[in-house]
Structures are given as structure tokens and as C-alpha cells.
Amino acid sequence: MPRLPDPRFATDCTVSVDGRAVPARKGESIASALVAAGRPLLSRSAKYHRPRGPFCLSGSCGSCLVRVDGEPNQRACRTPCQDGLRVETQNGWPDAERDVLGLIDPLTPHGLDVHHMLTRPLPLNRALVAFTRRLAGSGRMPDRPAPRGPEASTETFDALVLGSGPAGLAAAEELARSGRRVLLAEQDLLLGGRLRAGLEPGFAPGSWPADVSRAVAAHGGEVAVGTTAVGLWHDGGEPICLLVARSPARTRLVRASRILVCTGGDARPPVFEGCDLPGVFSGRALALALAEHGVVPGRRAAVLGTGPEAETIVERFRAAGMESVLVAQPPIRATGRSRVTSLGLADGSKIPCDTVAQGAPPAPSPDLLRALGVGVDWNPAFEAFSPRVADDGTTQVAGLFAAGEVARPVSAAAAAAWGRRAGEAARG
């Protein structure tokens, strides 16, 4: 059962993957359609040609790169499906599934010491350089020239809010209601961020995103969905944000005297032998794909974690007809050829599964804040680098604010409250 048999989740388009037709839903990501189709294997890895598939499904990891309509190295999780889209798996011969070079992995059980291998004699070293060059690189050069992107617009707003999860929504709402002209940018096509997965009972988004949109619009602001903040720079001595939308294609340079970074955390891959196998996913991302597109990722799931979020994910999977168990102890190894087939635990037990869902909260994501000079510290409590953001959302950089999981793990309700405080602080 690749998708819940609910008419809401009926497929309505077809994409081609290595020449084979895959049914999909318009607007869902390629990665989501392939998980629903039971085909998470998208490429082979750089050195050992290990199987690779989507993990985070939210644009923060790098393991779902595919070739889309002749353009290499595109994130399958960021590319929405539409009829006739031509997707090719990468770095496998003849394809990622049957890849002959997949033999490199079992033949190198202790890995390769690339810096010191085969350095002499000279002819052998030359052969090594030529051979590894053939092996290297994942995407093929585009077949044909692509048109230049659209001319960029340069715009100024009172406030730029990046991300529309609970923190971003609350911040944008606070700023709009105080009369500020706000640009709220969301990389997905829908507002709500983590709220869309509905993993925190008692905190359903309801009409909140729509209310915020109205409030933003009422004060001359704008809500831009499908718009990724590619980065923050400082050209001209002031922060400048490059925002890129795919469809319709639009490139915007935005300056604002207040920038609020509420982009959420980065899904955190678990660490054990075989943790990189296709079939190991961010649990929150799977819950979202299930809620919005009825994607049932497999038959048997092992959900890693101890918190309420992991428990809720187990329940969701069960409600969708999957066998699902909560795994509280750290796994030792995942096994499987092109997809995980079982998970071994420290106590010697083995859980047969085709899906492993990381139920631990995402790690803070400091990159955008660091660009403008915010410091980070190692936080031993959640074993991650965490940007210095105060409880009122301020940072050490004037005009730069943050709230929510971008800064540290917090509940959705706490993120919303934090976002509101950040909005108040930025209101000035």
C-alpha cells in the first residue's frame, strides 16, 4: 500500500524515473513520490558507491540528488512533481539500483585511505588519478544550455521573516499587527512548517496560517511560498537576502532592517553501521508526507527515540496500516542491500523493517545566523552547535533575530511563544 486509499491522496500526474513511469501528486516532491512508490534508491555515494536515498526530505541533507530534466545534482526533496518530469538517478552504472561499482563497498571493508593509497610507482599513481577521475562526480553536465534566470528584483521591507513554522508565523503576525510591512518567506508550498505534520496534539495550526497571511497582507506585506532563502550576504554594508522561487521562477534581493530567522532545525541522521542506507528517514518528514500526500513509506517501521514525537510517529504509522515499533535503545547496525531490511540492537535482537524513522528532534541550524556574525556554542545537553539567541529572540547582531528550532530544540508551543517575543523585540 504505497498511499492511503483516500481520494484526497489520489495521484494526478506521472514522472519518469530512469525511463520508468512513477505515479505522483502534483506539487509533492519527487522524493515523496519515490518513497510512495517504494523506490527510495536515488544514487550511489561518492567514494564507496553505497546506495543513497532521501533522508531529511526537507532540503537540509545532501543525499537525494538526482538529475531533473537534464539538470544535474538537483535535490529530489525540493523539486515538485509535474506531468512529464524526467528524473534520472545518478552515479550508478547502468543505474543506481544495479550499479556495478557497488562492489567497491564490500571490497573495502576498512575503507580507503585515499591520501596514501597507490602513491608509487608513477605509472600506477597516474592510473589511479585517471581511474578515480572517472569514478568521481555524481551528476552529468547538462545536455543543453539553460536559460538565464529571471532578472532579480531588489526590494525593501520593514521586516523579513524566514520560515513559517510556529516561530515564523508568530513573529510575522506580531510584526504585521504592529503595522510593519513584512515579507514572510517559506520554502515549501504551504505555510506551517512542523505544524503541518500535526505531531503535537493540542497545537493544530487550524486557521492560523491563513490569519497570519491576511494580517501580513493587510499591512502591505507579502507571503511568499515556494521561496527559498539561499543565503544572507552583506554586500554594500547591509544584510541582503537572496530569495529564489522555482515556479514561477523568481529571484529577489531583499533588504530589511529586521531579519528574523525562523527556518527550523536540520534533521539529524542517526549514527550506527549502515545508518546511511535508503529507508532511513527523518520521522517528522515521513509524518508530513503521510499527512499531506498519504505516503506510506513501507510495511514495517522502527522509530528511533524516546520522546513524545517518536511515540506519535509510531501511532501514525500504525494508523496507516504499518507495523511500527518504538526503539528506545541505540541501534548497532542496519542491514540491507539497496534498502534497509533489518535493524540490529545492542541487546542482540534484530528488528525486521524496511523503514527506520529518526524520532529525535532536529539539530539547530546556525548557518544563516553565522553568516552575519552570530556566535555558536557546543551544547552538551543536546550534543549540537547552537547559535547564541536570547529568550527574547535577539542576537548579538543588531537587526538580526531568531526563534524556534533553528536555535535549539523546543516544542511547537514554545517556538510560537518565542517567535512572538522575537516579533515584539523586532517591532522596536
Segment 259-318, which members bind other proteins (CB under 8 A)?
Answer: 266-269, 271-277
Question: Could you give the CA distance from residue 243 to residue 341 in angstroms, rounded to a whole number?
Answer: 40
Residue placing its CB nearer to other proteins in the complex, 145 or 202: 145
Residue placing its CB nearer to other proteins in the complex, 30 or 320: 30
Question: Could you give the CA distance from residue 351 to residue 335 in angstroms, rounded to a whole number?
Answer: 10
Q: Which stretch binds other proteins (CB under 8 A): 19-27, 95-103, 313-321, 369-377?
A: 369-377
Question: Could you give the CA distance from residue 192 to residue 26 in angstroms, rounded to a whole number?
Answer: 19
- Find the binding residues for other proteins in span 12-51 (CB under 8 A): 45-48, 50
- Find the binding residues for other proteins in span 334-363 (CB under 8 A): 334-335, 363
- Least distance (Å) between residue 8 CB and other proteins: 30
- Least distance (Å) between residue 251 CB and other proteins: 5
Which one of 181, 333, 350, 427 is in contact with other proteins (CB under 8 A)?
333
Burial of residue 189 (CB within 10 Å: 0-12, 13-18, 19+) is middle
CB atoms under 10 Å from CB of 312, counted, come to 20
- Least distance (Å) between residue 324 CB and other proteins: 23
H or E segment at 227? Answer: strand 227-233
CB atoms under 10 Å from CB of 1, counted, come to 13
Angle at 109 between CA 103 and CA 110, to 5 degrees: 135
Residue placing its CB nearer to other proteins in the complex, 68 or 314: 68
SS3 label, residue 360: coil
- Least distance (Å) between residue 69 CB and other proteins: 9
SS3 label, residue 114: coil
Residue placing its CB nearer to other proteins in the complex, 39 or 67: 67
SS3 label, residue 261: strand
Which one of 294, 366, 409, 419 is in contact with other proteins (CB under 8 A)?
366
Which one of 155, 370, 424, 427 is in contact with other proteins (CB under 8 A)?
370
Q: Which stretch binds other proteins (CB under 8 A): 3-11, 26-34, 119-127, 188-196?
A: 119-127
- Tell me if 257 contacts other proteins by CB under 8 A: no
Residue placing its CB nearer to other proteins in the complex, 275 or 412: 275
Interaction pattern, residues 129-168, with other proteins; x per rule: CB under 8 A: xx-xxx-xxxxxxxxxxxxxxxxx-x--------------
- Tell me if 73 contacts other proteins by CB under 8 A: yes
- Tell me if 405 contacts other proteins by CB under 8 A: no
Burial of residue 200 (CB within 10 Å: 0-12, 13-18, 19+) is middle
Interaction pattern, residues 205-244, with other proteins; x per rule: CB under 8 A: -----------------------xxxxxxxxxx--x-x-x
Which letter does DSSP use for residue 7 in this model? G
- Least distance (Å) between residue 54 CB and other proteins: 11
H or E segment at 327? Answer: strand 323-327
Burial of residue 424 (CB within 10 Å: 0-12, 13-18, 19+) is middle
| Of 265, 254, 264, the residue nearest 231 (C-alpha) | 254
- Tell me if 105 contacts other proteins by CB under 8 A: yes
H or E segment at 182? Answer: strand 182-185
